[in-house]
């Protein structure tokens, strides 16, 4: 299935049904009178987050969603039927943006969460609604209220606990394939990963988290260089970033700074997230090179640098434990905030 994380669609809720003008006339009935019923409500357009979807590819082929009109009223004070709602199912983590692509309308970040984006029009009043002691035979009946319509953008941000960032060929896909059951494409050329990949890392029966791998960043990605930075949105929700630096590439300090500058330029709070800094490909360096480059990177970044090899597995368990500690702390914080809201 092709991965698609952005889509533009048109939505329109249903118009309300019309009220009617009707009078009761029956043989042997002395008193008749107005009995025109009201119109029914138009259908809403509702968006729902579901767990069995992971792409917006369906919206490339179906781009218009229209709810039906409410039923018209009828004589004998019969109200028109309310129209069925249109429920649009989207993946968990989908954001709904206005046509300007900046105004956030809804964020469906929890399975089963629903939002009524467009409300259906109310039904019009029939003439029975307007009868009074002085106006016993009203001929007035209202049309149903029109529904709402708008163009919107859907943007998918994958729900992951930790995110992999780094330059192309830093070994992110290899790392993901080693620590999880994910099978991303692995090759010895840049931009092997063209779409975000997810993998579940299980440390024990009670310790697990979701790791997201995104296409590599290069200098100028925020200006559209390479694949750009559009996929960084998929790690905005992560609790921690795993920054992989290719130790065999040479200038590890410049490689780290390039990615950090792109995170700062992108914004979204990515540069402020906890970061586990890892020097990868220890198997492709001599012990002396590994020690020198690790020391230089620690001095430039001002933080601890872990040394691993995604191929041989050296240092990988320690990195996973460091990631899980950050993920567990974030989960505990979210749980505390949720409990405070319920009090």
Binding residues: 166-173, 191-195, 213-216, 280-283, 309-311
Asked if residue 126 is part of any domain, the answer here is yes
Please say which residue of 141, 156, 171 terminates a domain. Answer: 156
Both 184 and 135 in one domain: the answer is no
Render each residue's pLDDT in the chain as its tens digit; 343 residues.
466 788 999 999 999 999 999 998 877 777 778 999 999 999 999 999 998 887 888 898 899 999 999 999 999 899 999 999 999 999 888 999 999 988 999 999 888 999 999 999 999 999 999 999 899 889 999 999 999 999 999 988 877 888 888 888 888 888 888 888 767 656 554 555 556 777 888 888 788 888 888 776 766 655 555 445 566 777 788 888 889 888 887 788 898 898 888 888 887 788 888 888 989 888 888 888 888 888 998 998 888 989 988 888 888 889 899 889 888 888 888 777 767 766 5
From edge to edge, which strands make up the β-sheet containing 305-307? Answer: 197-202, 208-213, 162-165, 240-246, 275-280, 305-307
Number of domains in the chain: 2
Strand-pair category, 149-156 with 94-97: antiparallel
3-state secondary structure of 333: helix
Please say which residue of 156, 171, 200 terminates a domain. Answer: 156
Asked if residue 131 is part of any domain, the answer here is yes
Both 246 and 214 in one domain: the answer is yes
Burial class (CB in 10 A: 0-12, 13-18, 19+), 311: middle
Q: 101 near 60, Cβ under 8 Å? A: no
Alpha-carbon span 60 to 3, nearest angstrom: 11
Both 141 and 194 in one domain: the answer is no
Ranges of H-type helices in the chain = 58-61, 172-179, 252-266, 287-301, 316-342
Asked if residue 1 is part of any domain, the answer here is no
Distance, first Cα to last Cα, the chain = 44
pLDDT for res 235: 79
The CATH number of residue 219's host domain is 3.40.50.300
Both 76 and 99 in one domain: the answer is yes
Alpha-carbon span 317 to 278, nearest angstrom: 12
Non-local (6+) Cβ contacts of 223 within 8 A are none
Binding residues for GTP: 166-173, 191-195, 213-216, 280-283, 309-311
Both 333 and 298 in one domain: the answer is yes
Both 182 and 324 in one domain: the answer is yes
Q: 120 near 41, Cβ under 8 Å? A: yes
Element (H, E) at 64: strand 64-66
DSSP for 185-206, written as a single string: ---SSS----S-EEEEEESSSS
Angle between helices 252-266 and 287-301 (to 10 degrees): 40
| Residue 93 belongs to domain spanning | 6-156
* 171 closest CA partner among 121, 229, 245: 245
Binding residues for Mg(2+): 173, 193
Both 86 and 179 in one domain: the answer is no
Looking at the DSSP bridge assignments, the partners of residue 34 are 23
pLDDT for res 172: 82
Is the sign of the CA dihedral 290, 293, 295, 301 positive or negative? negative
Both 177 and 114 in one domain: the answer is no
Please say which residue of 156, 184, 214 terminates a domain. Answer: 156
The CATH number of residue 143's host domain is 2.70.210.12
Asked if residue 170 is part of any domain, the answer here is yes
pLDDT for res 1: 46
Both 206 and 327 in one domain: the answer is yes
Both 229 and 244 in one domain: the answer is yes
Both 204 and 294 in one domain: the answer is yes
pLDDT for res 150: 95
Alpha-carbon span 235 to 252, nearest angstrom: 23
Q: 1 near 57, Cβ under 8 Å? A: yes
Both 145 and 189 in one domain: the answer is no
């Amino acid at each position: 299935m092709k991965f698609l994380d952005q889509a533009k669609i048109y939505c329109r809720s249903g118009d309300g049904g019309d009220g009617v003008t009707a009078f009761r006339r029956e043989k042997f009935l002395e008193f008749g009178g107005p009995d025109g019923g009201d119109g029914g409500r138009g259908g809403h357009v509702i968006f729902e987050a579901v767990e069995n979807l992971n792409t917006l590819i369906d919206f490339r082929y179906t781009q218009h969603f229209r709810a039906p009109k409410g039923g018209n009223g009828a004589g004998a004070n019969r109200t028109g039927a309310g129209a069925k709602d249109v429920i649009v199912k989207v993946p968990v983590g989908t954001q709904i943006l206005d046509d300007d692509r900046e105004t956030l309308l809804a964020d469906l970040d929890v399975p089963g969460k629903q939002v009524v984006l467009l409300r259906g029009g109310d039904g019009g009043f029939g003439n029975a609604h307007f009868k009074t002691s002085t106006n016993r035979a009203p001929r007035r009946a209202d049309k149903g209220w029109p529904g709402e319509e708008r163009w919107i953008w859907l943007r998918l941000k994958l729900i992951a606990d930790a995110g992999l960032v780094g330059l192309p060929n830093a070994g992110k896909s290899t790392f993901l394939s080693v620590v999880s059951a994910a099978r991303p494409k692995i090759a010895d050329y840049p931009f092997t990963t063209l779409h975000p990949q997810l993998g579940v890392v299980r440390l024990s029966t009670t310790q697990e988290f979701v790791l997201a791998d995104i296409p590599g960043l290069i200098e100028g990605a925020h200006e559209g260089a390479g694949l750009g930075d559009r996929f960084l949105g998929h790690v905005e929700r992560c609790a921690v970033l795993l920054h992989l630096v290719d130790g065999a590439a040479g200038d590890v300090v410049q490689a780290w700074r390039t990615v950090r500058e792109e995170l700062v330029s992108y914004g979204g709070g990515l540069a402020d997230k906890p970061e586990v800094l890892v020097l990868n490909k220890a198997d492709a360096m001599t012990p002396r090179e590994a020690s020198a480059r690790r020391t230089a990177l620690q001095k430039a970044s001002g933080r601890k640098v872990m040394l691993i090899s995604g191929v041989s597995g050296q240092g990988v368990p320690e990195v996973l434990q460091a990631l899980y500690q950050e993920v567990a702390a974030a989960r505990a914080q979210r749980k505390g905030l949720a409990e405070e809201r319920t009090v």
